[in-house]
Structure 1
Amino acid sequence: MALEFFRQTADFIADSWISPHSQRPLLAVAGASLTLGLALGAIWSSENSHPSKIIPSPLKSLQSSPSESTAFPLDVLPGARDVATPYGSIRVYEWGPEDGQKVLLVHGISTPCLSLGGLAHALVDRGCRVMIFDLFGRGFSDYPADVPQDHRLFSTQILLALASSPLSWTGASSGQFSLIGFSLGGGIAAAFASYFPNLLSSLTLLAPAGLLRASHIGWQTRLLCAKGWFPEDIVSKLVKGRLKAGPLVSPKKHKDTDKDQTVGVEDALTEGLVASPNQVLSRAYPSLTTAASVNWQVENHPGFVSAFISSIRHGPILQKTELENWKRLGSFLSQRKDEDDDTRIGLSHNKVLIALGETDNVIAKDDTVEDATAALEGNAHFIYFSIGHEFPSVEYDKLANHLIEFWK
């Protein structure tokens, strides 16, 4: 009886959260459900078997039934390969001139790497050798359910992807590579660069996570992040419903004076999935969109929702957990100023390039400029786009031109 009531309560909360027109007292319901969750969490958990350590992506099932892969094709980007690792299989794409400048792109929290497909194609057009991969639990990459999705796991995944290439990306003859990270991928890239700066020729962060102030996190997302407050199956139900619903409202207009602005899952979706009529992420399948890819993951990837939740909880998002990584990187860049140009190793550019959206309600422009400048000890160069969080997947040609100019 109690468990059935708990399930009905979860349905009620999910409906309140997902519906943009709901007038139900969500906060009161959440509080009551929280109390009930604490009492019944152990019982609920005992009803469910523990997840396997590695949750497979839809890859194998689609390989056995290729006709079912039309919603998200296996060859969505060129140069696909699947890399077996102790953490599960990683889907990697690599293409472009073998002697071109090497560029690695890391995508955001809710989409597969297709979201940066337009930028990847644009860089290949400009002579680059590009590598891009699905983060664990996204696209065609497996999900290691027993490992938190923090910067340690993602840094390891980057190294595993690089090691799978037929070309040398990290050896003495490789010439180093440029690293680009978007949103969550920006936080991942900053953390990776702070530990492995000698592998990189440049670092570019696109609307990066990693310095998000805790005061800007919405209460709904805070509840989801607080592991143990709700049984995990209830959290998964809520998040899956919200992800499946997709963006429900138009992006909010940014207010520079709004210091109480908060963000959450709903903001990330609304901002990150906005498309453009001219957007082409996959040249083989030009009609594919980021919103469609998220819906496909919700319906077909059994580890996606859990991976999303784990990234919210443990990923390189909040300033209070990631500031040391940014400071380490800033210290490295400052120390290099005293070195002779001929003896410098790693990050040949003296500054990190940070691109921001003027109307981004996920990564606030003014906050990021202030906090990144301080953490990186002034070793940052900023450029701006007149739209929101979605600019890397919409204005990728303009962004590619900025990157080429910066690298020169």
Structure 2
Amino acid sequence: MMPTSNTLQWILLGLPAVVILAFFLTIFPHTPSSLYVHPSLASLPRQSPSWQIYPDSFFDGGAYVRFPYGAVRYWLIGPKDGTRIVLIHGLSVPAIIWKDIAPQLASNGFRVLLYDLYGRGYSDAPQTTYDTALYTTQLALLMQYVGWDNAHVVGVSMGGGIAAAFAAQFPHLVSDKVALISSSGLIESGDLSRTSRFLSSPLMQFLTSSYPFRLYLQHLANGTPSANPVAELVRIQSAYLPGFNPAVASSIRDGPIRSLAPAFVALGRSMQKRGGRVLLIWGTADRVVPYRYAARVKALIQAADLITIPNATHDLTFSHSDEVTEALLQFFHGDRSHRTE
């Protein structure tokens, strides 16, 4: 059925108005919305157990700095003229993960920079995508702020992925040594637990961010505390910090967990060109980033040495802190006698 002449006439009459409207919508776009930033552990009342487990004064030399994506908590410990080392924590546990290692590095003459990643601990949680660029830019800005032109870098778990990507993106900010502990970056989807895959989905994040579900999490957190204070800290973050769960979920979906083979290759080439070195530390009983990934990372980094810790799990910075500390001290002091693989 053909349109009538009256219909065509009305279409032709309305067409200029549609074109003009489209033109003005194009030249006058919507005003961009401001970035929303969720608060950190610093927002919790002083009676919260988090202040006993992990106060913002947990390490000496602490301060806050505000960047475009929110405030960042950092600490500088050790002699000011010491060799500089940056420590990067992982997916859910903030800088407390270095509690047994950082002081030992500092007491052995190193100047150590620790900080909480966005969405964890005492750093704010911007409502954004937690991709690799967010984390590497956070560290680049922090190093610029504290006046460090370069440093050795150590990362554990997701922090290892951040360290590798940081070295690939900002090679001029990295000295000649990088240590990766139980590093993420190559994890395959099959190695992520069903719970992690389920809870990190956008739909589940929408549901778990709802007010009723958050009340339920807080009810659970107010129950019998965990015997493990670090596990209790993670539970508090999940229940009381509205930006924590989205930060973790987005990191699993979009962050430095997978697909970092090019970054590892770039790190290896950079270290080989400069005569630098990379140290890998892994536990054979790691079920989060299984031990087989150590060989895969090592195959991508020609300059890498591997230290294997028998029967150590993914929490080896807690369970085997002495072995990890000794390996790092020998590595950064230049002793090659620790090579085991």
Distance apart, 1:313 and its partner CA: 1.1
**Residue of structure 1 equivalent to 2:14:** none
- 1:29-65 Cα offsets, whole Å, 9 max, x none, are xxxxxxxxxxxxxxxxxxxxx9961112242x45xx6
- The match for 1:327 among 238, 243, 265 is 265
- The match for 2:307 among 361, 366, 383 is 383
Does residue 164 in structure 1 map to residue 141 in structure 2?
no
Distance apart, 1:215 and its partner CA: 3.0
- Decide whether the 8 Å contact of 1:244 with 1:295 is kept in 2: no
Question: What is the distance in 1 between the residues matched to 2:35 and 2:162?
Answer: 25
Q: How many residues align?
A: 291
Question: What is the distance in 1 between the residues matched to 2:166 and 2:255?
Answer: 13
Distance apart, 1:355 and its partner CA: 0.3
**Residue of structure 2 equivalent to 1:181:** 155
Superposition TM-score, scaled by structure 2 size: 0.77
Does residue 194 in structure 1 map to residue 168 in structure 2?
yes
Does residue 117 in structure 1 map to residue 96 in structure 2?
no
Does residue 234 in structure 1 map to residue 207 in structure 2?
yes
What amino acid is the match of 1:142?
A: D
Does residue 373 in structure 1 map to residue 298 in structure 2?
yes
Question: What is the distance in 2 between the residues matched to 1:239 and 1:325?
Answer: 38
**Residue of structure 2 equivalent to 1:98:** 80
What amino acid is the match of 2:142?
A: A
Q: SS state of the match for residue 59, structure 2?
A: coil
> Residue 71 and residue 355 in structure 1: after superposition, are their counterparts in 2 closer, same or farther (change >3 A)?
closer
Question: What is the distance in 1 between the residues matched to 2:244 and 2:82?
Answer: 34
218-227 vs 104-113, which moves further: 218-227
- The match for 1:405 among 317, 327, 330 is 330
Distance apart, 1:360 and its partner CA: 0.5
Q: More strand by proportion, 1 or 2?
A: 2
Superposition TM-score, scaled by structure 1 size: 0.65
- 1:76-124 Cα offsets, whole Å, 9 max, x none, are 2211100011100000111110011111100011111111121111111
Distance apart, 1:294 and its partner CA: 1.1
Distance apart, 1:244 and its partner CA: 9.5
- Decide whether the 8 Å contact of 1:154 with 1:188 is kept in 2: yes
Question: What is the distance in 1 between the residues matched to 2:196 and 2:319?
Answer: 27
- Decide whether the 8 Å contact of 1:243 with 1:294 is kept in 2: no
- Decide whether the 8 Å contact of 1:274 with 1:390 is kept in 2: no
- The match for 1:54 among 37, 45, 66 is 37
**Residue of structure 1 equivalent to 2:280:** 354
> Residue 52 and residue 299 in structure 1: after superposition, are their counterparts in 2 closer, same or farther (change >3 A)?
farther
Q: Superposition pairs for residues 8-27 of structure 1, below 5 Å?
A: none
**Residue of structure 1 equivalent to 2:197:** 222
Does residue 139 in structure 1 map to residue 105 in structure 2?
no
Distance apart, 1:163 and its partner CA: 2.2
- Decide whether the 8 Å contact of 1:72 with 1:296 is kept in 2: no
Does residue 309 in structure 1 map to residue 290 in structure 2?
no
- Decide whether the 8 Å contact of 2:180 with 2:280 is kept in 1: yes
Distance apart, 1:332 and its partner CA: 2.7
Question: What is the distance in 1 between the residues matched to 2:239 and 2:145?
Answer: 29
Question: What is the distance in 2 between the residues matched to 1:140 and 1:118?
Answer: 19
> Residue 102 and residue 159 in structure 1: after superposition, are their counterparts in 2 closer, same or farther (change >3 A)?
same
Root-mean-square deviation (Å):
2.8
More contact order relative to length (CA 8 Å, sep ≥ 6) = 1
Gap regions ≥5 residues in structure 2: 1-32, 335-341
Q: Superposition pairs for residues 149-160 of structure 1, below 5 Å?
A: 149-160=130-141
> Residue 82 and residue 104 in structure 1: after superposition, are their counterparts in 2 closer, same or farther (change >3 A)?
same
- Decide whether the 8 Å contact of 2:191 with 2:288 is kept in 1: no
- The match for 1:392 among 310, 317, 325 is 317
Question: What is the distance in 2 between the residues matched to 1:95 and 1:196?
Answer: 24
- Decide whether the 8 Å contact of 1:244 with 1:298 is kept in 2: no
- Decide whether the 8 Å contact of 2:179 with 2:280 is kept in 1: yes
What amino acid is the match of 1:162?
A: M
Does residue 73 in structure 1 map to residue 45 in structure 2?
no
Question: What is the distance in 1 between the residues matched to 2:167 and 2:70?
Answer: 24
- Decide whether the 8 Å contact of 2:73 with 2:116 is kept in 1: yes
Question: What is the distance in 2 between the residues matched to 1:231 and 1:222?
Answer: 10
Distance apart, 1:138 and its partner CA: 0.7
- 1:305-347 Cα offsets, whole Å, 9 max, x none, are 11111111111112xx22222222233334x1xxxxxxx4xxx
Distance apart, 1:208 and its partner CA: 0.3
